[in-house]
Amino acid sequence: MPKVVRFHETGGADVLKVEDLPLIEPGEGEVRLKVEAIGLNRAEVMFRRGQYLQNPELPSRLGYEAAGIIDAVGPGIGAIQIGGRVSTIPSFSMGKYGVYGESVIVPDSAVARYPDNLSAIEGAAIWMQYLTTFGALIEFGQLKKDDSVLITAASSSVGLAAIQITKAAGASAIATTRGADKKQFLLDAGADHVIVTDKEDLAESVIAITSGKGANIIFDPVAGPLLEKLADAAASGAIIFEYGALSPAPTIFPLFSTLAKGLTVRGYTLFEIVRDPEKLARGKKYVYDGLQSGALKPIIDRTFPLDAIAEAHQYMESNQQKGKIVVTV
Amino acid sequence: MPKVVRFHETGGADVLKVEDLPLIEPGEGEVRLKVEAIGLNRAEVMFRRGQYLQNPELPSRLGYEAAGIIDAVGPGIGAIQIGGRVSTIPSFSMGKYGVYGESVIVPDSAVARYPDNLSAIEGAAIWMQYLTTFGALIEFGQLKKDDSVLITAASSSVGLAAIQITKAAGASAIATTRGADKKQFLLDAGADHVIVTDKEDLAESVIAITSGKGANIIFDPVAGPLLEKLADAAASGAIIFEYGALSPAPTIFPLFSTLAKGLTVRGYTLFEIVRDPEKLARGKKYVYDGLQSGALKPIIDRTFPLDAIAEAHQYMESNQQKGKIVVTV
């Protein structure tokens, strides 16, 4: 029986249990994946805690991103080949289709080939980070080469993807990190400027870096009190994408800055892309082309075995990582 | 010597003083207006209180909207004729060029003809309300006939302008008012639905009116705790324009609603339109055409004489008005 990760109560990382569950057959519109690698995301930590956009039905599976080989397809599925090397696009309910496991079922629309030059570990580290960033910066933000993009929590997989996509467009990437220990890593990852927020004032630094103009596009998963500082760092007419809720504190809307500067604050998730066939098609092409050309390249922090899934979640919550955490199966 | 309104300290309406000041000659790029009517705006109340986007230099003039006759032009001004019947577009510092007075100086770029079918009282009641609304609903909101527009503080001059512009586009106007006493007035003014927020739940009502969809465009000058209710009333992908700060309470950003629905919250003022020559040209044409066709028609609540300017401000702050308050000169 394949191992599958589930949790029977919400809470800390130790609620995650590796269980032996019967092999399931894919139903209509579904395919089964023999999993090789699983990419971890903040969304799963939030879901496990009961703090995500959807609440789990217990016991619940979890997980959005896996790379593997298709080993069974449901009735009526033509285009997808058994034996195909694919990874999953987070476009499903992770309670229903969670991919933390050795053998998992997902909707057929959620699997996509990834370039042959990528390992399975890298294949599990592409769609969430690059499609999330593509949607905000390219699709909605219409990133141009004269733009200055402020990227908070830049050492996360999505933050690093944002640096790569910003640089691929020829624009300027301003990354933030709390501690000085990640500064050189972020410069090596392509950031034009790194602001160490424990030591430097975020808004003052951005204003100085941009010669007084401020950042045109801000890409932030933190929210909370940080939003007011981001508004101070914003250029006139800027757009601030909020794509997460890492701060537990209430988010104050910086009303006077937004009025004075004509700022847009945009709540945004990947689902706006993956649930729209045209946007998804543009996103997949953008990401695939970028991976093939080498403009986009997943940065893997470290891997854990499946049995150490709780430890892997604890590591993510420790905020030490620089890039993607992947579980190998 | 012409009478001019100034204040020597910020505060309540009684700080406004009607003073006799020497007649001034217009400088380069300026014209002088013999004022016939002055349109009152919330912006002036906020400015008088020291709560506006700009702080006054005391003693300070105030006022954005006047209609009158040009009786002098500065050096090098060709296109503007002495004797022309114009009104002022709020595109200047009201501390420097405030139009509360019998004779005032404004930048030449800030005067515009208004249709002959309008009185001077109506002419003083067009640019602020219609250009503000044009910018949000038409220029940025790209209002379409299938849209449902939620208009808060709908009995204000800008709120009524928003009802007219929404209806002119063939879209649905949902107006809110605190008390039931203004409900029939708002229906008569063209609102398709009126929500009396003292008696009805705003979000539930909007959801019911829109058959579960929510409002696509929300146009709100209140902010504060109301923003969370507006997010609950918003459709997926909606845009919420915040164009004022009437609430004294902090504005909480409704992070989870904005993430779940992909909402945009946009700080917006008229200045984004009037300081951009192309947008201003489009806006002036839109407003002029609408006024000429009758699709747009200023609604005047009541008039006051110039000597009663403090009383006129008190009346505005009482929130009793239904439409524009105008001072006749």
What tens digit of pLDDT does each residue of A214-241 get?
999 999 999 999 999 999 999 999 999 9
Q: Are strands B30-39 and B103-107 parallel, antiparallel or unpaired?
A: antiparallel
Q: Are strands A324-328 and B264-267 parallel, antiparallel or unpaired?
A: unpaired
Range of the domain at B260: 128-271
Count A/B contacts: CB-CB distance under 8 Å: 96
ipTM exceeds 0.90, yes or no: yes
Whether residue A259 and residue B237 make contact (CB cut-off 8 A), yes or no, is: no
Cα–Cα distance list, B329 to A263, B61, B103, B297, B303 (Å): 38, 16, 10, 22, 10
pLDDT of A138: 98
Chain A residues with CB under 8 Å of B234 CB are none
Residues B117 and B137 in one domain: no
pLDDT class for A196, splitting at 50, 70, 90?
A: very high
Q: How far apart are the first and last CA of chain A?
A: 14
In a domain, B281, yes or no: no
In a domain, B286, yes or no: no
In a domain, B285, yes or no: no
pLDDT of A66: 98
The DSSP 8-state label assigned to residue B76 in this structure reads T
- Region A68-88: what's the mean pLDDT? 89
pLDDT of B80: 72
Residue A2 has pLDDT above 90, yes or no: yes
In a domain, A288, yes or no: no
> How many domains in chain A?
2
Amino acid type, A140: F
- Give ∠ CA B266-B267-B273 in degrees, rounded to 5: 100
In sequence order, which ranges of chain B are alpha helices (DSSP H)?
Answer: 42-49, 94-97, 120-123, 127-133, 157-168, 183-188, 202-209, 226-233, 255-261, 271-274, 277-293, 309-317
Of the partner residues B245, B250, B257, the one whose CB lies closest to the CB of residue A259: B245
Residues A105 and A154 in one domain: no
Shortest Cα–Cα distance, B150 to chain A (Å): 19
Asked if A296 contacts A287 with a C-beta cutoff of 8 angstroms, the reply is: yes
User: Does residue B274 belong to the interface with chain A, where contact is any CB pair within 8 Å?
Assistant: no
Lowest-confidence region among A74-88, A187-201, B51-65, B101-115: A74-88
Can you give the pTM of this predicted structure?
Answer: 0.94
Residues A266 and A133 in one domain: yes
What tens digit of pLDDT does each residue of A109-155 get?
999 999 999 999 999 999 999 999 999 999 999 999 999 999 999 99
Question: Residues with Cβ < 8 Å from A187, sequence gap 6 or more?
Answer: A194
Q: Which of A226, A243, A255 to mutate to test the interface with B (most CBs of B within 10 A)?
A: A255
CATH of the domain at B71: 3.90.180.10
Q: Please classify residue B247 by burial: count the beta carbons closer than 10 Å to its beta carbon, then call 0-12 exposed, 13-18 middle and 19+ buried.
A: middle
Residues B223 and B249 in one domain: yes
Chain B residues with CB under 8 Å of A271 CB are 262
Amino acid type, A156: S
What tens digit of pLDDT does each residue of B232-251 get?
999 999 999 999 999 999 99
Residues A176 and A114 in one domain: no
pLDDT of B61: 97
Residues A150 and A67 in one domain: no
In a domain, B283, yes or no: no
Residues B122 and B134 in one domain: no
Cα–Cα distance list, A46 to A16, A292, A293 (Å): 13, 32, 34
- A266-282 in b/e burial notation, b at 16+ Cβ within 10 A? bbbbbbbbbeeeebbeb
198-257 in chain B: CB under 8 A from chain A: 223, 227, 237, 242-245, 250-253, 255-257
- Which parts of chain B sit beneath pLDDT 70? none
Residues B209 and B147 in one domain: yes
pLDDT of B93: 94
User: Does residue B296 belong to the interface with chain A, where contact is any CB pair within 8 Å?
Assistant: no
What tens digit of pLDDT does each residue of A6-63 get?
999 999 999 999 999 999 999 999 999 999 999 999 999 999 999 998 899 999 999 9
The domain boundary residue, chosen from B254, B271, B288:
B271
Residues B119 and B146 in one domain: no
Shortest Cα–Cα distance, B14 to chain A (Å): 26
Residues in chain A: 329
What tens digit of pLDDT does each residue of A235-271 get?
999 999 999 999 999 999 999 999 999 999 999 999 9
pLDDT of A78: 72
Residues B141 and B219 in one domain: yes
- Give ∠ CA B105-B110-B116 in degrees, rounded to 5: 100
Q: Are strands B16-20 and B3-7 parallel, antiparallel or unpaired?
A: antiparallel
**Peptide bond preceding B2: is omega within 30 degrees of 0, i.e. cis?**
no
Cα–Cα distance list, B151 to A50, A83, A265, B189 (Å): 35, 56, 20, 13
Give Cα B165 distance to the centre of its chain. 13
Q: Are strands B111-113 and B148-151 parallel, antiparallel or unpaired?
A: unpaired
The structure tokens listed for A186 are 């972020």
Cα torsion B239, B245, B251, B256 to 10°: value is 0
Whether residue B255 and residue A237 make contact (CB cut-off 8 A), yes or no, is: no
CATH of the domain at B179: 3.40.50.720
What tens digit of pLDDT does each residue of B94-115 get?
999 999 999 999 999 999 999 9
pLDDT of A258: 97
B51 three-class SS: coil
**Peptide bond preceding B298: is omega within 30 degrees of 0, i.e. cis?**
no
Chain B residues with CB under 8 Å of A243 CB are 259
Residues B138 and B264 in one domain: yes
Which residue of chain A has the CA closest to B273?
A262
Q: Which residue has the tokens 């700060």?
A: B245
Residue A80 has pLDDT above 90, yes or no: no
Beta bridge partners of B17: B6
Shortest Cα–Cα distance, B258 to chain A (Å): 4
User: Does residue A259 belong to the interface with chain B, where contact is any CB pair within 8 Å?
Assistant: yes
Whether residue B253 and residue A255 make contact (CB cut-off 8 A), yes or no, is: no
| Mean of all residue pLDDT scores within chain A | 96
C-alpha A188/C-alpha A62 separation (Å) is 33
pLDDT of B76: 80
Of A21, A66, A14, nearest in space to A45 by CA = A14
What tens digit of pLDDT does each residue of A309-323 get?
999 999 999 989 999
Of the partner residues A243, A262, A266, the one whose CB lies closest to the CB of residue B267: A262
Whether residue A53 and residue B259 make contact (CB cut-off 8 A), yes or no, is: yes
In a domain, B146, yes or no: yes
Asked if A227 contacts A240 with a C-beta cutoff of 8 angstroms, the reply is: yes
pLDDT of A76: 80
pLDDT of A167: 98
C-alpha B96/C-alpha A94 separation (Å) is 59
B235, containing H or E segment: strand B234-242
| HEC secondary structure over chain A | CCEEEEECCCCCHHHEEEEECCCCCCCCCEEEEEEEEEECCHHHHHHHHCCCCCCCCCCEECCCEEEEEEEEECCCCCCCCCCCEEEECCCCCHHHHCCCECEEEEEHHHEEECCCCCCHHHHCCCHHHHHHHHHHHHHHCCCCCCCEEEECCCCCHHHHHHHHHHHHCCCEEEEEECCHHHHHHHHHCCCCEEEECCCCCHHHHHHHHCCCCCEEEEEECCCCCHHHHHHHHEEEEEEEEECCCCCCCCCECCHHHHHHHCCEEEECCCHHHHCCHHHHHHHHHHHHHHHHHCCCCCCEEEEEEHHHHHHHHHHHHCCCCCCEEEEEC
Residues B97 and B154 in one domain: no
Whether residue A269 and residue B251 make contact (CB cut-off 8 A), yes or no, is: no
Q: Which residue has the tokens 């009025």?
A: A259
Of A43, A258, A135, nearest in space to B227 by CA = A258
- Region A147-168: what's the mean pLDDT? 97
In a domain, A287, yes or no: no
pLDDT of A77: 79
pLDDT of A194: 98
In a domain, A276, yes or no: no
Of the partner residues B244, B258, B267, the one whose CB lies closest to the CB of residue A267: B258
